[in-house]
Structure 1
Amino acid sequence: MFEFFRHLGSFIIALGILVTVHEYGHFWVARKAGVKVLRFSIGFGKPLCRWHDKLGTEYVIAMIPLGGYVKMLDERVEAVDPSESHLSFNNKSVWSRIAIVIAGPMANFIFAIFALALMYMIGVQNAKPVVGDVHAQSRAALAQLQSGDHILAMGGQDVLSWQEVTFSLMSHLGEQSVDVKVQDAQQQIQIRTIDLTGWKLDKKDQPPLDAIGIVPYRPALTLTIGHVAKGSAASQAGLQVGDKLLTANGQEIEQWQSLVSLVQASPNKAIQLEVMRNGYRQILSVTPESRTGPNGIQQGFLGVVPQLESWPPGYIETRHYGPLDSIVLGVQKTYALITLSFDMIGNLITGKVSVNNLSGPVGIAVGAGTSVSYGLVAFLSFLALISVNLGVFNLLPLPVLDGGHLMYYIIELIRKKPVSEKTQELGYKIGAMLLLGLTCFALLNDVSRL
């Protein structure tokens, strides 16, 4: 239950920040363009609180935290006093309307730059992208990538972390191949070429690295418990952090995966665990709870995480940057995320990436909660990523989104006259149905992952 409320609270905070940023972009430019703003709302539905400024704008925080809007004076929506006609949105030049519409996504991109710059100034801790293992007969194996290879660059782009490796790899989706610069276990620089011909992300939730056969290096799992989830079967049985697992049902536990296999095969079945605690042996009876796993199969779930062995010296790097360098890096990273986001949309359309990988509100909530648990730097990185995606999504040419309005105004520039209200209304209905269908599909994906 605690996890649920943590994810929910993190989701509300994250979405509230990003929606406020987006809508403030529209609000600020509208004011500069001389448009009267009637309402600035964060959330939908019943107002929880409201107030007015000296210019008459009503500010609202509403009950349903799934978006927001800026309501402007507009003669197409309601009657406007002739004395305020010049303050109406529809009476502004097409260039002013374009600026107001595009300001929302641009605000999201600027916020991403700010969040990333702050993250770089605080300091970014990364594990070096060292290959831990390579799946047999995979694309990585055929390229002769080996355990111990330290990836230095991919496609000519230097990489410092596994996140950068993943983003760079995704940017080459659809290409024939990608060159990978590595330093092997003998400290020799080598160039490996990975064949990407026909490569697709067509499996649900499969990480790109796993899809080409790369397993990042991670310290080995120990048999000592590092975390016990509150309210889990392990917690109810009395397992504690620091307990070292010895036997299960009388059989010696040689590695963590052996315990995982036994637990998964024992939903709602008692297991006798022998542990070493404070130098003394204890036997505990634990009954894994039943959860639905892949393909609808019921699996046991214990609720424990093992401790890891220590990282080898030099594998973890913390990099700090000055203000100017942080801003430059923030701009570069934001641009790369924008490009990657548009590429992924194109790959979804062409089928190179499965639509089963789409995430909705639940996926964002889980991501927000997880990033918060890792600290401020991880949360800033998550905010930047979602802010960019929100900006890119709103630029899609669907009439109910900013991109749809932008499309109409560009047509108006070309035709020298506005698109008819009847055509716009039809477009809004089609766009709303498409958007609703996309949201429902993403939500179903989220639910299937729970």
Structure 2
Amino acid sequence: MIESPGILYSIGAFLLVIGPLVFVHEMGHYLVARWFGTKVEKFSIGFGREIAGWTDKRGTRWKIGWMPLGGYVQFAGDLNAASQPDPNAGDASAEERAALFQFKPVGQRFLIILAGPMINFLFAIILFMGIFATYGQAQNAPVVSAIMEGSVADQAGFELGDEISAVDGRAIDRFDELADIVRLRPGQQMQFDILRDGRELSITAVTADVTVEDRFGNEARIGRLGVQSAVLEMETLGALQLPGAALTQTLSSLEMITVGLGQIISGRRSIEELGGPLRIAQFSGQTASLGLYAFLFFMAAISINLGFINLLPIPMLDGGHLVFYAAEAIRRRPIKPEAQEWAFRMGLAVLLSFMLMVTVIDLGSFGLWERLSGLIS
């Protein structure tokens, strides 16, 4: 087992991950807002008291807050960083209104907010393209080269040389696709379409539900079939292959997020598998210590997570604003300010409760509660 990096190293790695991703996210909002002629008053990386900043010639205040757990772009006509409309903005002149966010057509407001999560997905695609162009992508065919004795595959009737062409009706081309699909579904019945000696057949099996430990001692609950591929074959991809491969990897990561979240909501996974800022910082340090490949892959995964979370229909998040704008487009009039204010307050309560919960989970994963209970007893 490898010893985890120190606290300062992990904090530095965390800032190297979250800082650029927050900047990219907010830059998506900023660029589309500028494209539509919306004035941007503040561009902040981090929350809380400003520790550094400057004002550009357009009047935008670029700043860094002391709490590096997010960021925001505040548009002209916003009451606060959550893009809550300023009720006094109606007193502005016609010329001033042209640059205010809340007076832009609903379609433009929708696109400005949508741009943040979308650029996080695009950034992940670019990272994956760079990884596949330099380090390569595993190209092992989904062919069974070894079967673990007594495993699910052994008992279900898999044989050496079987080529797994599809899982639950989903076609696969590489062995790592098979591994990703199975890993995410512990204890779940799955159908495997197989080519064996030129014949097509199907095998139904329930994946093993196992808990594994990585080199740093982190535990994870995964599904396991019990088959292995040949020696790992990494191959750098050409320019024409890169966009498709990177997009496929991004969509696969999104699937893992949605499936995992669905399993937590349905009770098939423990809520303790959620991770907050403390655990992300820990993983940032660990992946950074493994080298640039692991670190870039981790950054791409966090970028996808950031885009996904911001699309959740929770007021205060981008997804909540998108719901308001969609409702406005359907109703042909904005949601009442009172209803928006109530929703923002509820959204803030939900987010604060969630942050408190994941922080408690993070501290528990570090053994804090166990140590405190030992002191008390």
Q: TM class by shorter-chain length? A: 0.7 to 0.9
**Unaligned stretches of 5+ residues in structure 2:** 79-84, 213-217, 367-377
Correspondence 1:51 to 2:45: no
1:183-222 map, 5 Å:
193-196=203-206, 205-209=219-223, 212=224, 214=226
The residue correspondences of 1:37-186 to structure 2 (distance < 5 A) are 37-74=40-77, 76-77=85-86, 79-80=88-89, 81-82=92-93, 83-124=95-136, 126=138, 134=148, 136=150, 139-145=152-158, 153-155=165-167, 156-158=170-172, 160=174, 162=176, 164-169=177-182, 176-179=189-192, 181=194
Greater fraction helix: 2
Equivalent residue number for residue 39 of structure 2: 36
- Which residue in the other structure is 2:292 paired with? 376
**1:343 counterpart = 2:259:** yes
Q: How many residues in Structure 1 have an aligned counterpart in Structure 2?
A: 345
Match of 1:402 in 2: 318
Tell me, in whole angstroms, the C-alpha distance in 2 between the residues paired with 1:449 and 1:216: 31
Name the CA distance, whole Å, in 2 between partners of 1:404 and 1:101: 10
The residue identity in structure 2 corresponding to 1:102 is: L
* Cα deviation code 1:297-344 (max 9, x no counterpart): xxxxxxxxxxxxxxxxx7132211122211221112112222332333
C-alpha change, 1:86 and 1:150, in structure 2 (3 Å) is same
Equivalent-residue separation in structure 2 for 1:433 and 1:200 (angstroms): 36
Pick the aligned partner of 1:393 from 309, 313, 317: 309
Amino acid of the structure 2 residue aligned with 1:77? D
Tell me if 1:319 matches 2:328.
no
Query: 1 CA distance for matches of 2:193 and 2:355?
Result: 37
Report the CA distance shift for 1:149/1:9 in structure 2 as closer, same or farther (over 3 A).
farther
CA displacement 1:31-82 (0-9 Å, x = unmatched): 1111100011111122222112221111112211100000101163375552
The 1:25–1:59 alpha-carbon spacing in structure 2 relative to 1, beyond 3 Å, is same
Q: Is the 8 A contact 1:135 1:213 kept in 2?
A: no
SS in 2 for 1:363: helix
Is the 1:131–1:151 contact (alpha carbons within 8 Å) kept by the matching residues of 2?
A: no
Q: Which moved more, 1:173-182 or 1:84-93?
A: 173-182
Q: Is the 8 A contact 2:46 2:69 kept in 1?
A: yes
Classify the secondary structure of the residue corresponding to 2:49: strand
Taking only the aligned residue pairs, the percentage that are identical comes to 32
The normalised TM-score by structure 2 is: 0.79
In structure 2, give the amino acid aligned to 1:193. I
Q: Say yes or no: does 1:11 pair with 2:14.
A: yes
Deviation at 1:169, TM superposition (A): 2.5
Cα shift readout 1:376-422 (whole Å, capped 9, x = no counterpart): 22222111111111111111111111111111111111111111111
Q: Is the 8 A contact 1:37 1:73 kept in 2?
A: yes
Q: TM-score, normalised by structure 1?
A: 0.68
Distance in 2, matches of 1:32 and 1:15, equals 26
Higher strand content, 1 or 2: 1
1:168 to partner: Cα distance: 2.0
Highest Rg: 1 or 2? 1
Following the alignment from structure 1 to structure 2, what is the Cα–Cα distance between the partners of residues 346 and 434?
A: 18
Q: Decide whether the 8 Å contact of 2:315 with 2:321 is kept in 1.
A: yes
